[in-house]
Structure 1
Amino acid sequence: MAPKTLRIGVLLELVQLSDIMGVDVFGNLSTAYLNQVIALDPKLAEFLPHAMNIEFFYISSSLEAATTTPPNASLPNSIGGFRFLPNTTYDDCPRDLDIILIGGPLPTHRPEAADRFMKEAWAKTRVWMTTCIGSLWLASTGLLEGKKVTTNKEFLGTARAAFPGIEWKYQRWVVDEKEYSGGSEKGELWTAGGAGAGMDMIARYCLDNFDKEFVNSMALEGLEFNPGGQASLYYPMKEGERRAIL
């Protein structure tokens, strides 16, 4: 049975939009969304026992309109064209969420409040997810020492040089355990490569944790996204390459 309430935090300041689009997979599993689409197809009411009340926390430095990528070339000195309204700040967001997702923030962007939030929420939130270079942001806190993780494959060399105490894997996504002080369940760390790998990772998480027919019907097939969630954990290997040496 799906949990009846799911609280998801999304660090959405100066990130690439495609890195955090996996939140739509979660959103399609919500009671609010299902109640709306039942009007189009009453047969979907059979999934109501599996739907969840989902609360999203869109986190930024302030509640002012915040910038994401891509940049707006028509504006001088602009680093972003698309803006969104956060509904909480790093300082005010609860630390004990169910899931936190970090996309790929620009590497020059690192507010002290964000660093403090990640450190304070790390052990209180059971599941942490990163896509693209979001894992580098999290790595800079020191929390990933000794963990198995990945990042955008183009930056694996940079990641290994900057954080040698972390086991960087050449995989589309990696799952490892993490510290969790909020109950008897194990903490989970899910890190992915580029944006597409992040979408596949979130699909895999949902298929592993919620009713598979519900996930496929409401999220994956509905978004025309890899029904069945069968995308591989690994990158395609060229002939002669061995995964063990990467």
Structure 2
Amino acid sequence: MAPKSLRIGVLLEQVQLSDIMGIDLFGNLSTGYLNQVLPLDPKFADFLPHAMDIEFFYISSSLEPASTTPPNASLPNSIGGFKFLPNTTYDECPRDLDIVLIGGPLPTHRPEAADRFMKEAWGKTRVWMTTCIGSLWLASTGLLEGKKVTTNKEFLGVARAGFPGTEWKYQRWVVDEKEYEGGGGKGELWTAGGAGAGMDMIARYCLDNFDKEFVNIMALEGLEFNPGGQAGPFYPMNEGEKRIIW
């Protein structure tokens, strides 16, 4: 049985928009979403026992509209393109969430309030996830010392040079334990490579933690997204090899 409720914090100020799209997989497992699709087909009522009340905390420096990518090249510093409306700030967001997801901003984005939030919430929130260079943002706090993690494979050299106390793995995603002060299980750290790997990672998390049929129908097959989480955590080539996509 899925938990009755889930609170998810999302750090997406100035991040790559595709890095945080995995929240849509969670959203499709919510009671609110399921109730909206029930009129289309009553068979979805079978999943009501598995649906969760999910609350998303969209975190930013202020409650003013904030930028993500893609940038607007006509504006100074190439920011200000796609904007989202935060519903909480780094200072005001609860620290004891269920999941925190961090997308990848460039190294120029390191607000002190975000650093403070990550350090204060680290031990109080059981599951932390990063996609792409979101792991570099989290590593900048010192919290990833001694942890097994990954990042966008093109930046593994940068990550290893900048944070040598962290074990950077050449994998699409990596799962490690982390400190956790609460009950209900061990602390978990899930880190992914590029945005596509992040989507697969979140699909895997959902399949591992919630009813598999519910996840496949509502979040994977329904979005025509890799049903069953078939893309694994390992790359099909060795580190340093280049794969031609087309």
Taking structure 1 as the reference length, the TM-score comes to 0.95
In the aligned structure 2, how far is the partner of 1:197 from the partner of 1:135? 13
Specify the code of the residue in structure 2 equivalent to 1:190.
W
Q: What is the correspondence of 1:65-76 to structure 2 with a 5 Å cutoff?
A: 65-76=65-76
- Structure 1: runs of 5+ lacking an equivalent: 242-246
Q: Equivalent residue for 2:119? A: 119
Distance, in Å, in 2 between the alignment partners of 1:61 and 1:77 is 18
Q: What's the secondary structure of 1:205's corresponding residue? A: helix
In 2, distance between residues paired with 1:237 and 1:157? 17
Corresponding residue pairs, total: 241
Task: Kindly provide the CA deviation profile for residues 143-168 of structure 1, in whole angstroms up to 9, marking residues without a partner as x.
Answer: 11100000000000000000011000
Residue 59 of structure 2 aligns with which residue? 59
Deviation at 1:184, TM superposition (A): 4.9
> In terms of mean alpha carbon deviation, does 105-114 or 47-56 score higher?
105-114
Structure 1 partner of 2:163: 163
TM-aligned CA deviation for residue 76 of structure 1:
4.3
**Structure 2 letter corresponding to 1:123:** G
Measure, in 1, the Cα distance between the counterparts of 2:44 and 2:114: 40
Q: Could you say what the CA RMSD is over the residues aligned between the two structures, in angstroms?
A: 1.4
- Provide the C-alpha distance between the structure 2 equivalents of 1:205 and 1:84, rounded to a whole number of angstroms: 26
> Gaps (5+ residues) in structure 2?
242-246
* 2:78 counterpart SS class: coil
**Where does 1:1-246 land on structure 2 (aligned, <5 Å)?**
1-237=1-237
Structure 2 counterpart of 1:165, one-letter code: G
Give the deviation of 1:237 after TM superposition. 1.7
Describe the superposition over 1:97-134 as per-residue Cα deviations: whole angstroms up to 9, x where unpaired: 00000000121011100000000000000000000000
Q: Which position in structure 2 is the counterpart of 1:244?
A: none
Give the Cα–Cα distance (whole angstroms) in 1 for the partners of residues 105 and 120 of structure 2.
Answer: 19
Shift of 1:211: 0.1
Structure 2: how far apart are the matches of 1:10 and 1:216? 23
More displaced stretch, 172-181 vs 72-81:
72-81
After superposition, the C-alpha distances for 1:168-223 in whole angstroms (9 at most, x for unaligned) are: 00000000000000115100000000000000000000000000000000000011
Percent identity over paired residues: 89
Displacement of 1:141 in angstroms is 0.6
What is the CA–CA distance in structure 2 between the aligned matches of 1:52 and 1:145, rounded to whole Å? 34
* In structure 2, C-alpha distance between the alignment counterparts of 1:133 and 1:122, rounded to whole Å: 18
Q: Which residue is equivalent to 2:244?
A: none
The 3 A distance-change label for structure 1 pair 75 and 184 is closer
SS in 1 for 2:6: strand
Q: How far apart are the structure 2 equivalents of 1:45 and 1:16?
A: 35
CA distance in 2, matches of 1:180, 1:80: 36
How far apart are the structure 2 equivalents of 1:77 and 1:185?
43
SS, match of residue 171 in structure 1: coil
**CA distance in 1: counterparts of 2:84 and 2:168, whole angstroms:** 32
The CA deviation string for residues 63-122 of structure 1, in whole angstroms up to 9 with x for no partner, is 001011111123344313001110000000000000000000121011100000000000
